[in-house]
Amino acid sequence: MKKTSFLSLEQAREISREIPTPFHIYDEAGIRQTARDLNRAFSWNPGFKEYFAVKATPNPYILQILHQEGCGCDCATATELLLAKAAGVDGEEIMFSSNDTPAEDYRLARQLGACINLDDATHVDFLAQNGGIPETICLRYNPGGSFSLGNTIMDMPRDAKFGMTEDQMAGAIARLQKLGAKRFGIHALLASNAWGNEYYPELAGNLFRLAVRLRNATGAEIAFVNLSGGVGVDYRPEQPKSDIFAIGQGVRAQYERILVPAGMGNVAIYTELGRFMLAPHGMLVSTVIHQKHIYREYLGLDACAADLMRPAIYGAYHHITVLGKEDAILDHVYDVVGGLCENNDKFAIERSLPQVEIGDILAIHDTGAHGYSMGYNYNGKLRSAEVLLKIDGSFQKIRRAETPRDYFATLDETPFHFDV
Ligand SMILES: *Cc1c(COP(=O)(O)O)cnc(C)c1O
């Protein structure tokens, strides 16, 4: 499938007169459509709810849009809890799926009435002392071994720090019941960016069977199964899109095969999708500021890995459109780079593009999740602005770019000044 930019050159020029590049831009219409599709794909399950993984796109404007579409927030830290709260999301609309959790984070999560997802059995007593045990509580599972889909090993849960063993879950449930818990959820995240439609149904099968065993072993009421995140997106043009309707039906088949016959036909399904919800609906918009001709041809952008670190740290592919040259032939090969003093600061290596001139505006696709949010300040690079492209075609700055004042702001009460 040809990947197309949701932003035209004219729109990019208009925005950049007010908000200079680089900036991340998000497409409100696309975000709402994906949320509606997800809710429709799981509408067979009356208790279904998506808790958007805040770490993917931690901007309250985005969280608000998703909340209007019925999504809550999945948080892992106190700051993410504050972001959810700022967006008007609290109480049971927050899932707190943390690990290695500080006491004060648990206390804040309990104060907000969030649903707690325990990463470990030892956290039962830790939570009892730091916020107290709620009536409804979730436990995170680690099955150990390897996790495969067909012949493909997706991940190695036995090497992952997350979750607890089945025996530990049963013990934790018994202990939690003594401490007043009444309803339980179970959760696992066993793959990341899994594309194709098999991951969620396979995971759901595993968790549904676990839910039946835990109910039988402990007599506990399993109220929900949280499938967490991990559904992938088509970063490459040749990849198929995840079909959320096929995924929803795949989960439904497992539900009817495993839970319904066990008398557990009112278990709610929860998800904590991040990438699937937002990645395709964000782009990093950047201007070519230099061209360099040595052993390769280089395009130097005004953005760098501090704005989007996935290519640098994972070698991840992000598609690039040269705005205004959508239909030009791809008869040039470039390395597309940022200005960090690190040779891995390359958005693309030996990428076929049309002929590019200094001043051209590039859209780097699929940065709506784990894009801005993974940004950092290496080399004194300052994080970019975030812009919302609204349904009516107008735009709104939803986060300004950082300035040197922000960089200096944590040097409390020092004699250093940022002015020149
Ligand atoms: C990162 C994360 C998610 C979201 O993962 P995606 O790959 O963005 O869907 C959901 N739940 C937990 C606990 C996570 O750590």
Atom of ligand 1 nearest to the CA of 279: 8
How far apart are the CA of 187 and the centre of ligand 1, in A? 11
> Crossing angle, helix 199-218 and helix 244-254, to 10 degrees?
30
Contact, 314 vs 275, CB < 8 A? no
Residue 135: pLDDT band with limits 50, 70, 90: very high
- pLDDT for 420 equals 67
Atom of ligand 1 nearest to the CA of 193: 7
Nearest CA to ligand 1 atom 10: 229
Torsions phi, psi of 371, nearest 5? -110, -90
Residue 56 has pLDDT above 70, yes or no: yes
Average pLDDT over residues 291-297: 98
Q: How far apart are CA 99 and CA 97, in angstroms?
A: 7
Atom of ligand 1 nearest to the CA of 56: 8
Residue 166 has pLDDT above 90, yes or no: yes
Average pLDDT over residues 298-317: 97
Residue 418 has pLDDT above 90, yes or no: no
Q: Could you report the per-residue pLDDT of 225-251, keeping only the tens digit for each?
A: 999 999 999 999 999 999 999 999 999
The gap from C-alpha 79 to its chain's centroid, in whole angstroms, comes to 16
Residue showing tokens 């707190």: 96
Taking CB atoms and a 6 Å cutoff, what residues make up the pocket around ligand 1? 53, 55-56, 74, 97, 189, 192, 228-231, 272-276, 369
Residue 126: pLDDT band with limits 50, 70, 90: very high
Bin 193: left if φ > 0, else alpha if -120 < ψ < 50, else beta: left
Atom of ligand 1 nearest to the CA of 276: 9
**What share of the chain in percent tops pLDDT 70?**
99
- Closest by Cα among 203, 212, 214, 223 to 267: 223
Which residue from 49, 50, 55, 235 has its CB within 8 A of the most atoms of ligand 1, so it is best to mutate? Answer: 55
How far apart are the CA of 408 and the centre of ligand 1, in A? 32
Nearest CA to ligand 1 atom 9: 229
Average pLDDT over residues 99-113: 98
Q: Could you report the per-residue pLDDT of 1-22, keeping only the tens digit for each?
A: 789 999 999 999 999 999 999 9
Which residue from 115, 118, 235, 272 has its CB within 8 A of the most atoms of ligand 1, so it is best to mutate? Answer: 272
Residue 339 has pLDDT above 70, yes or no: yes
CA angle 329, 316, 52 (to 5 degrees): 115
Q: Which domains does the chain have, with CATH numbers?
A: 28-276 (3.20.20.10), 280-408 (2.40.37.10)
Q: In the 8-state DSSP scheme, what is residue 231?
A: B
- pLDDT for 205 equals 98
Average pLDDT over residues 412-416: 73
- pLDDT for 417 equals 73
The gap from C-alpha 157 to its chain's centroid, in whole angstroms, comes to 20
